[in-house]
Structure 1
Amino acid sequence: MSNPSASTHFAPQLYIPKGQTDIQFYINLGAIEIFCFRNDDGTIHVAELELDGAIFHVHETMSSTAIMDPSKLGAVTSIIGLFVPDVDAMMQKGIAAGAVEIDPAQDYDYGYRQGMFRDPYGHYWQIQKKIGLK
C-alpha cells in the first residue's frame, strides 16, 4: 500500500447497522482489515479496510448519523465507484460474497465497462474500468 498521508485521496465511510459483529462481506470481496475498533459488547464501532490500495471505513450507525444509513433511509445519496482491472471478476466476487446485482457488467459508448451491485448493508458499488471510447 502506498503512503495515504503522502497524497490526496478519497476514503469513503460506509455506515453499517449498529450491533454488527461481522464485516466478512468486505473481506470476501478482497478487502484487508487494517484495524477494527470494537465496542465493549464485541460489536464493530469502526474498521478501516483496504481493497487493492483503496482505503475505506465502515462505521456503526450512531444517532447523529442515522440519516446516512441506507438500510434506514431506504435510498442512497452516493455510489462507491471502484476501478478494477477485471470488472467481471469483481462483480462475480461481490455476488458470491452476498451482494445483489443491480446492473450486469457491460461496455458503454463513453468508454467504460461497468456493472453495479448492492452490498448487504445497502451501499451501491459501481465496478468499472476504462476501456476506451467506441
Structure 2
Amino acid sequence: MTTRVNPIPDGYKSAMPYLSVAGAAAAIAFYKEAFGAEETLRLEEPSGKVAHAEMRIGTASFSLADEYPEMNIRGPKSIGGTGVIIQVYVEDVDALFKRAEAAGATVKRAPTDEFYGDRSGTLEDPFGHVWMFQSHKEDVSPEEMKRRFAAFFTK
C-alpha cells in the first residue's frame, strides 16, 4: 500500500518568495538581526556557498540562495534592482523598523497608518531586496475601503 504524501509540506504555504542574493550567508545573518528571522534550513556547498536556505519571520516563510550567474540566477544588486516587494505581516511594524534600520536597512517609506486598516512601511535590505512590513490595526469592509480609497485621491 502506498502512503499519500501531502503535496504542500506541513508548515509551508503554497507560495513563498525565493531570493537570490550576492552573499547569502551575510544575508541570513542580517535577516536574523534586522527582522528577527529564524533560519530553519541551510545547505552549503563545500566552498561555503549557500545552495539553499529557508527562513521564517513569524508565520511567513521564504527561501534564499547565493547567486548562480552560470544559471542566470542573480540578485537585485547584480541586475540593477527589483520589481518585487516582499510583504510580511508582523506584530509591531514600528519596532521592526527600528531594529532593521539599526542593522543597516534603508527606510524607503516609514510606517504609516493606511486607509485599508494596516500600519505599513517599506525598506530595502543591504542586498537590494525590498520589504513591506505591516501590522493590521483595523478591520475595514470592502465598501469602506473603496470609499477611503476614493477619498485618498481627492485630497
TM-score by length of 1: 0.84
Give the structure 2 partner of residue 25 of structure 1: 30
Give the structure 2 partner of residue 69 of structure 1: 75
Q: Structure 1 unaligned runs (5+)?
A: none
Q: CA distance change for structure 1 residues 84 and 20 in 2, over 3 Å: closer, same or farther?
A: closer
Alignment: residue pair count? 129
Q: Which amino acid aligns with 2:121?
A: G
CA distance in 1, matches of 2:117, 2:25: 40
Q: Which amino acid aligns with 1:5?
A: P
Is 1:5 aligned to residue 9 of structure 2?
yes
Give the structure 1 partner of residue 49 of structure 2: 43
Give the structure 2 partner of residue 53 of structure 1: 59
CA distance in 2, matches of 1:50, 1:60: 18
**Structure ranking higher in strand proportion:** 1
Higher relative contact order, chain-length normalized (CA < 8 Å, sep 6+): 1
Q: Structure 1 stretch 54-63 or stretch 113-122: which is displaced more? A: 54-63
Displacement of 1:35 after TM fit?
A: 1.2
CA distance in 2, matches of 1:49, 1:21: 12
4+ aligned runs moved over 3 Å, structure 1: 6-9
Provide the alpha-carbon RMSD of the alignment: 2.0
Q: Which amino acid aligns with 1:105?
A: P
| Sequence identity (%) | 29
**Larger of the two Rg values belongs to structure:** 2
Q: Structure 1 stretch 107-116 or stretch 5-14: which is displaced more? A: 5-14
Give the structure 1 partner of residue 143 of structure 2: none
**Structure ranking higher in helix proportion:** 2
Give the structure 2 partner of residue 111 of structure 1: 117
CA contact (8 A) 2:43 2:52 kept: yes
CA distance in 2, matches of 1:21, 1:72: 17
TM-score by length of 2: 0.74
Displacement of 1:129 after TM fit?
A: 2.0
Displacement of 1:113 after TM fit?
A: 0.9
Q: Structure 2 unaligned runs (5+)?
A: 1-7, 141-147, 149-155
